[in-house]
Amino acid sequence: QVQLVESGGGLVQTGGSLRLSCTASGFTSIYVTGWFRQAPGKKREGVSCISSSDGTTYYSDSVKGRFTISRDNEKNTVYLQMNDLKPEDTAIYYCATSSRITSRSGRDYSLSPYWHDYWGQGTQVTVSS
């Protein structure tokens, strides 16, 4: 049984930091793990992703320079360190995995929800102004 479990969300003030974790279990192959977010009334958008094989990372323009994605293969866990948080970062954050694309597919594919097959339950991030 494949499973993704996110943790680390919460309420933080503008300029604050949070670290999200995503732990995977039951998978036979993961090529890319991504973080996505969805705010009320908006489409789900890709935030960042990381390749399982070579550690290639991608970021959306809105978080580049503030968020950092990393992985611990021994723990099957991917992290998203979020710094300098802004109210517009408020959303439910999901992690998801893909075995259909690799990092060589490029940023747009890697950050597209369409190409990710397994999703966690989500964790709420709220940034107060």
Q: 115: which residues sit within 8 A by CB, 6+ positions away?
A: 32, 98, 100, 101, 105, 109
> Which has more pLDDT, 27 or 126?
126
pLDDT tens, residue by residue, 94-108: 999 998 888 788 899
Q: Using pLDDT thresholds of 50, 70 and 90, give the confidence band for residue 70.
A: very high
